Structure 1
Amino acid sequence: FNENEIAYLPKLGYFKKNEPAFFEPIHIIENSNIEVFRHSINLLRNVFTDGSGNVIPDFDITFDNSLLEKNISYLTNAVSFIKEDSKEYYEIIEKCCKKILLFKTDPGNTNSFATIKAHGVAFFNVYQDDYDEVFFIDDIAHQTGHIILTTLFHNRKAIFKIDEEQNVEDLLKLKDHRTVYILLHALYTYYTTLLCLDNSLAKNRFNKRQEKEAIGRIGFYLNKCSNDLNRFEKINDLYSGIENVLTNEGKEIYDIIRQKYSEAVQKWQTTISGFDYNNQTYNFAFKNFDALNTLEKTQS
């Protein structure tokens, strides 16, 4: 039982202590096979850690049914949009991502994440009050991207020719504490996020405010992707070519990422070139973006 004396049985539902019948069923997102947890799960509690690896205290993090109630319509719509607009990618999502857990905490504690310690679960930090379908398309694509790549990389030596646990900082003498493995993970999530946002924009899924946010997020990730591609290319140069860094399977994934980046730059560069991201933090915040960028820029 969790702190509210609720126990969860997979595929069945939730029990309250000393009550013989289920008091809530599991929640499956409409027209999908993906479950959303209604309550905190004790067996998952240890994966909620801060940057130092310490478990985030109960008073500093929220898990409850109110998060599901507030966000489920947005989450359901986002899943539906990805399913219809990015069909091939969605098929992979359903194979690899079985469950979603919503939580709320200061991002200084942790961001949304996926982890091998709870493989197949996507964890979304819904700490901004204005999150809607655009955020969930972004975060679904991002976190399921991690889950999918972890699955693909179950045998890392089928992907990497070098030691993938080397730190980028040590290799390139730059301030970057990520490993080569994590760097490639980041690049793949830019690919999945750009893919899903771009496809849903093309299908006119959003109102004007959401359209501005979606395009703002695309520019935000293109900047990040550009920086990380540059770092990966420097690693390739360090080893005298990508053929000495990645296997053919690894190069295929890398080429897909580069191709999507190039397509997105060609499509959106004129629109996003004037955007100002100086007030953004690690996670995209639309209210910050909106304060510095006019709607007309998204329509140029």
Structure 2
Amino acid sequence: MKIEQQYFENLLEEGSEEFELIFRSLFKEKYENLYSLLDDTDAFNEPMICAAFSTPIHIPVEQMVLGFLEPLPSKIDVVSNKHGVVHIPKLGYFYTNEPCESLEIRIKDNNSFAIFKSDKEVELISFKEEVYINDTDIEICRSEDESIIQFFPDQTENIQLESGLEKSVMHLNNAYHLIKKHTPFYAEWLNYTMRRIVLFTSPQLNSFASICTLNNAYINLNNERVSDIFFLEEITHQCGHALFYPMSIDRDKLFIMDYTTPMSHFSGIETDDRDLINAFYSFFPQYTGNYIFDVILDHEENLDEDSRLELIGRYAFRMYKYGLGIYQYQEYSDQILSEYGKEMFAIFREGYEKLYEKRKELFDSLDIKDQVYVFDLEKFKSKNLQKTI
């Protein structure tokens, strides 16, 4: 299968530039003096800036952009999160014993820092630099900031970002390395677009991406067997959504009717709570992610047996869901999609058909229909081990 790389790359570049212009304009209108200091920086792709214009924020905007300034100012007002941590993008994390407090960070000549509360110095327990996926500008979040707090508004759940990072960073790097090795164009897309990955643990919320915090992806580790292949799936899924937001910036262009119409309006399946656009958004991560799975399955020689089986099982389950979505949308596409939308959908449909046809015998032989949201490798092995030899 030959993927439509240039088609989507053009959309990504055009949409990303348009989103940046939108946030530049919004920022300049509201913070004109500060804007002049940031004009030549990448600050307007910072996810917290996007959050600042889509949801009530709890921290000063200066805290969001301080790390983009050169030279650093001598002091800045900040607000700590519920753990007493102050995150300043591009700079790092300041750990204090002052949760949910208005503080002041003073920056000394030698780039050392002091924390003050009402002009009284408080203890800086530690300072930790940001952690990035190897060879990228994609940060792995250490502690809650404005980009994730909005999704947990009651602030009572411990979502364990720091421990999630510690147990996952090696696997996340390995998964990105697999993508870069086998599909370098997709690694370039990720590094061009993504700014932060949040690894959290919650029984309330699945992994997700959100247009309210562009360039971010949120990966839930709850009940997951953390592995290289798990992160390969989550990167291609959740980051795939984040990539598609700028690609589909002109959402109205895709449809001939209200894209917030529930899919159940057409299918009659009352439990299907997706709307037209959310159902459509599922196709790009499937199209590109399943292609990546297919290439790695063909060419990666260094997978251990469990990784190979997990790759096959997750790929088969993804293809099962991909097919269900394609056939459902195909049935109603004339009532839903514009000619432009049909053109894009045809790419997604053809991608499914080619990937399925290539491994039809394998996919048809596997028993994966009792898999649920959290993929169960042991269940897959118990039913399919002999079929994957």
Same fold? TM cut 0.5: yes
How many angstroms apart in 2 are the aligned matches of 1:148 and 1:89?
A: 10
CA contact (8 A) 1:145 1:189 kept: yes
Quick check: 1:88 aligned with 2:194? no
Give the TM-score of the pair, scaled to structure 1: 0.87
CA contact (8 A) 2:263 2:273 kept: yes
Other-structure match for 1:51: none
CA apart distance, 1:182? 0.7
Within the candidate set 227, 244, 248, 1:149 is matched to 244
Task: Write out aligned runs for 1:4-83 (5 A).
Answer: 4-17=83-96, 18-19=122-123, 23-48=127-152, 55=153, 58-59=156-157, 61-83=158-180
How many angstroms apart in 1 are the aligned matches of 2:86 and 2:377?
A: 37
Within the candidate set 262, 265, 284, 1:170 is matched to 265
Partner SS state of residue 178, structure 1: coil
Letter of the structure 1 residue corresponding to residue 288 of structure 2: T
How many angstroms apart in 2 are the aligned matches of 1:251 and 1:90?
A: 27
Give the TM-score of the pair, scaled to structure 2: 0.68
Quick check: 1:268 aligned with 2:359? yes
CA contact (8 A) 1:187 1:257 kept: yes
CA apart distance, 1:9? 0.4
Q: Deviations over 1:38-89 (max 9, x none)?
A: 12225521224xxxxxx46534x42232211111000001111112211222
Other-structure match for 1:216: 313
CA-based RMSD of the aligned residues comes to: 2.0
Other-structure match for 1:140: 235
Within the candidate set 275, 280, 303, 1:179 is matched to 275
CA contact (8 A) 2:223 2:374 kept: no
Unaligned runs of 5+ in 1: 49-54
Q: Which has the higher strand share?
A: 2
Partner SS state of residue 264, structure 1: helix
CA contact (8 A) 2:149 2:155 kept: no
How many angstroms apart in 2 are the aligned matches of 1:129 and 1:156?
A: 33
Other-structure match for 2:328: 231
Alpha carbons of 1:292 and 1:69: their partners in 2 closer, same or farther (altered >3 Å)?
A: same
How many angstroms apart in 2 are the aligned matches of 1:159 and 1:42?
A: 31
CA apart distance, 1:27? 0.8
Q: Deviations over 1:254-287 (max 9, x none)?
A: 2221222112112222112122124311332223
How many angstroms apart in 2 are the aligned matches of 1:275 and 1:56?
A: 43
Letter of the structure 2 residue corresponding to residue 298 of structure 1: T
Other-structure match for 1:201: 297
Identity of aligned residues (%): 26
How many angstroms apart in 1 are the aligned matches of 2:343 and 2:223?
A: 36
How many angstroms apart in 2 are the aligned matches of 1:245 and 1:158?
A: 9
Q: Deviations over 1:96-137 (max 9, x none)?
A: 21110100122xx11110011211110001123522110101
Unaligned runs of 5+ in 2: 1-79, 97-121
Other-structure match for 2:372: 281
How many angstroms apart in 2 are the aligned matches of 1:129 and 1:230?
A: 29
Letter of the structure 1 residue corresponding to residue 345 of structure 2: Y
Computing the radius of gyration from Cα coordinates, the structure with the larger value is 2
